[in-house]
A = this chain, B = another copy of it.
Amino acid sequence: MNIKKEILYKVNNKQLLIGVVGLGYVGLPLSVSFAQENNQVLGFDKSEEKIKKINSGENYIGDIQDDDLISVVNKGLLSASNDFSLIKKCDVLLICVPTPLDKFRKPDMSYIESACIEIGKNMKRGTFICLESTTYPTTTEHFMLPIIERESGFKHENDFWLAFSPERVDPGNKEYFTKNTPKVLGALTKDGLEIGEAIYKLAIENVHLVSSPRVAEMVKILENTYRLVNISLINELALLSGKMDINIWEVIEAAKTKPFGFQAFYPGPGVGGHCIPLDPFYLEHIAKKFNFDLTMINTAGHIDMLMAHRMTLKITSALNRHKKSINGSIILFLGVAYKPNINDERESPALKIIDEVINKGGNVRYHDPYISEIKTPENKQLKSIKLSPDSLKIFDCVVITTNHSEFDASFIERNSKMIVDLRNLIKVASNKVYKL
């Protein structure tokens, strides 16, 4: 039996061993989804803590139901390991490693590189390999393929298949999760595409095929660039509206009554999380190689880079009306997660504002029902405090940086001296409230 027939036979008879490399907010939900459909899944990660937790059925990802993880672990369908030599047992390898930016906002490809080296060294002939991490177009063909071929001695199409299928995880989304979010897939060859489609269909309802990995890579970047650009646009319009005595939130609600050709975005202290602040800059990076300057992404990045500073100025202006300065004031931040109802503070603008306010002499506390302690980009460590009417009253200024559902607007409005509301949480008119 040739390798293509063999892998398709295993797909059809649920005999695959699916290896998932990287067990974070993408890899673990993906692993659970495959295991729930009675496929054997082996997760790989360098973190011993994650391995231990998974193998003991302890969930650490908000989008996964604890019972779902326990169930597939107890049935022996999902296990985890940091022994990458076990890659040789896998028929499928799905790579879900981080693709961060370094301190100079350039792509950090080291995680993909390291995964490709481990895979190349250990893989068996006949493996289907697919990258899910967001990256610049041409990564699969020009970055991954040479490493895997070099390390393995195998030849693509003769010995293995390589593809790209972007993750579309939206943390906290209660309607769309791994199984029912359509998956875009592009492979280097026709066989790779056919095999990849068959594999993903084991766990995902709709697979949308495209003509190449670079098209699939571009799809994810387009989706998130669209968001960065539109958030930056509305943030810039919000800042102007503040000067023009226009309530931007009211403008957006009214614009939403247009039944065609408009999608609402909301202002805030800046973009956060692992996707929107990062992904567009992967494209900007590769564009340079093609002598191309992506002016829209550039401009959106500039706006976003200044948002934390501008929000600090809002706090300064608000305190100034009470004849106070940041220096010496005691200031509470409500919410440090980058979006509502999740426990993730990566790239959260709240942390940057906290750093700046501390640097200006502010005495900062925070409260977040989802995040009990934080370390800011400048390594300040803080613990979430409890909220009570008495505790709120002591603050010179309360800054609303995340609109968690738990936050009781009227309680906060009633018990605070002054509020800088960057999320339109306080809907009633109040002379205590300074809005973005």
Contact = CB atoms under 8 A, between A and B. Distances in A.
B295 A236 contact: yes
Interface string A214-251: 11101100110111011011001101110111111011
Interface in A167-196: 168, 170, 173, 175-176, 181-182, 184
A427 interface: no
A302 interface: yes
Contacts of A260: 170, 173, 175-176
Nearest to A298: B299
A277 B262 CA distance: 16
Interface stretch (A57-65, A85-93, A286-294): A286-294
A114 interface: no
A290 B254 CA distance: 24
A391 interface: no
Copies of this chain in its oligomeric complex: 2
B218 A251 contact: yes
A202 B204 CA distance: 50
A243 B292 contact: yes
Interface residues of A, number: 66
Given A292-B243, A300-B296, A182 B233 contact: no
Contacts of A210: 250-251, 254
Interface string A393-407: 000000000000000
A216 B254 CA distance: 8
Interface in A239-277: 239-241, 243-248, 250-252, 254-255, 257-263
Interface string A22-60: 000000000000000000000000000000000000000
A98 interface: no
Given A170-B260, A237-B225, A261-B170, A254 B296 contact: no
Contacts of A122: none
A206 interface: yes
A407 B244 CA distance: 47
A206 B294 CA distance: 41
Interface in A324-380: none
B230 A226 contact: yes
Nearest to A138: B244
A interface, over-half SS:
helix
A169 B250 CA distance: 22
A182 B243 contact: no
Nearest to A292: B240
Given A233-B296, A243-B292, A255-B219, A211 B250 contact: yes
A303 interface: yes
Contact of A294 (B211, B236, B247, B300): B236
B240 A290 contact: yes
A5 interface: no
A247 B212 CA distance: 10
A241 B138 CA distance: 11
B294 A258 contact: no
Nearest to A182: B257
Given A184-B255, A226-B263, 18 more contacts: A170-B261, A181-B259, A182-B257, A206-B257, A211-B250, A212-B246, A218-B237, A218-B241, A219-B251, A225-B237, A226-B230, A236-B295, A240-B283, A244-B290, A263-B263, A296-B300, A296-B303, A299-B299
Closest 4 CB pairs of A and B: A182-B257, A299-B299, A263-B263, A219-B254
Interface of A: 137-138, 168, 170, 173, 175-176, 181-182, 184, 206, 208, 210-212, 214-216, 218-219, 222-223, 225-227, 229-230, 232-233, 236-237, 239-241, 243-248, 250-252, 254-255, 257-263, 283, 286-287, 290-292, 294-296, 298-300, 302-303
23 contacts: A138-B244, A168-B258, A208-B257, A210-B251, A211-B247, A214-B245, A215-B246, A215-B251, A216-B254, A218-B244, A219-B254, A223-B255, A223-B258, A226-B230, A226-B233, A226-B255, A226-B263, A229-B229, A243-B291, A295-B299, A295-B302, A296-B299, A296-B300
